[in-house]
Structures are given as structure tokens and as C-alpha cells.
Structure 1
């Protein structure tokens, strides 16, 4: 027998020993267990991916809702600001109108007071001038007659 034959015998004995110790079954079981673990991990990864996609869809929906809500809030704030501006402008205009009206009333009152004062002054000056003229031209007799006549006019005017 040559060395090739002995190598063959050694190989057969080694394979027989492996078979006797049930190494191929153990290797097969180990490989099957590893394949099952990999399958389980793939299933778990698939489930996790589905959950992640569901969470992503939910968060995207919530983000869209939040954006819509934010847009609604901004729009409401803009409308409210516009209303406040319009109301403030209207109140300011009303205030200015009231102030103008009050100023016009004060001016009109001042004009009336000035006209009244001028008339009063004119009457006082006219009375003083009339008194001076009458004092120069009228004597005691004429004065008594004018006084009676004036009293008669006053009585007639009062009745």
C-alpha cells in the first residue's frame, strides 16, 4: 500500500469518526439554528421596518396637522391684527372728528363772545357819546321830559 491508500484509509476513518460522533448532524443543526435565527432577525427587522413606516406616516400626518394648525393660527392672528388696525384707525378718526368739533365749537363760542363784547363795547361807547351829546344839548327841562317819555316806552315795552 502506498501513501495514497493510507491517506484514503485515514480519510475514511476520519469521516467515520465524524459520523460516529454525529458531527454532520451537529453541523446541520447548528446551520439550521443559525438560519432560523437569521430568519427570525429578518422577520423582526421587517416588523420593525413596518412599525417605523407607520410611525413615520403618523408623524408626517401630525406634522401636516401641526402646519395646518399653525397656518390657521397665523391667519387668525393676521385677521385679528387687521381688525385691531381698522378699529384703531376708526377710533382715531372718531377722536380727531370729536376734537375738531370741539375746537370748532370753541372757536364759534369765542367768535360769539368777541361779537358780544364788541357790541357791548359799542353800546357802552354809544351810550357814553349820547350822554355827552345830551348833556351838552339838553337842559333840565328837556331832561325831565325825555325821562318821562323813556319811562313810558319802558312801561309799554314791559307790558
Structure 2
């Protein structure tokens, strides 16, 4: 019975959040953006969500090309973009210093941390410009070049 109620809520565009309160599919989504994955608390993604794709073989959402670890050259800030539309940012020795949700539209990323603070950024291949910082996809050629140049 509980599973049926959850499935009904999800099909209606609502799903319970962590405290069991139903949330609407677009309640905290910035206007004009799309969620990364179909399993987010915002309800199922639609075929119009350009950043979400499905694998015909597995039935699971395919990982977004920008998901993964992004780091500053010195490694002090490490931001992991999780495939479920959440991020986890570490600063120095402080793990999970900032956590929240992100949305990607084209090359633009928008963040809303769990305290409600929002920010944005822009991807340029394996480089992410965000909040005055330059992040690199960890281990990418761009990251290696930046480390060699001491940027």
C-alpha cells in the first residue's frame, strides 16, 4: 500500500522529500532549467529535459557529461557533481562544506545549496568558471596543463 502511494505521488509529479512532505515537481527548480536525473526529489523528468537521457538497455538515467569531480588547481576546493542532480563540495580538510542541488542548461550550471544560497557557473569543456574560481575536471588534460603551469 505504501509503495502504491509513493508511485501514485511520483506519477502525479510529486514525491515525498526527506521528511515525507510532498513537493511539487518544479517547486525549487529555477525557471527554464532542467534537472539532471529522473530520481531527484522533484519528480520524474520529462522528454523535454535536455540534460537527462535514458539508456535503452538499463532503463536508468545516463550520466550527464559534466557529472564527476571538479577541482581547483591546488586541490583546495573539490566539487563533486553527482549524477542525481546533487553536489558535494569540500574545502581543504572540511568534507561536505557545501551541499545542495544543481541544474545544467547547455553550458550553464546553477546551484542552490541546502541553506538556500544560490550561485551559477559556466562550463568550457573541462573547465568550469564558478564564483570567481576556475575548476578543472579532475585528471583531464586541462587540469594537468593548469597544474604544470602553476595556475
TM-score interval, smaller chain: under 0.3
Higher fraction of helix: 1
TM-score by length of 1: 0.16
Higher fraction of strand: 2
TM-score by length of 2: 0.17
Query: Which one scores higher on RCO, CA 8 angstroms, separation ≥ 6?
Result: 2
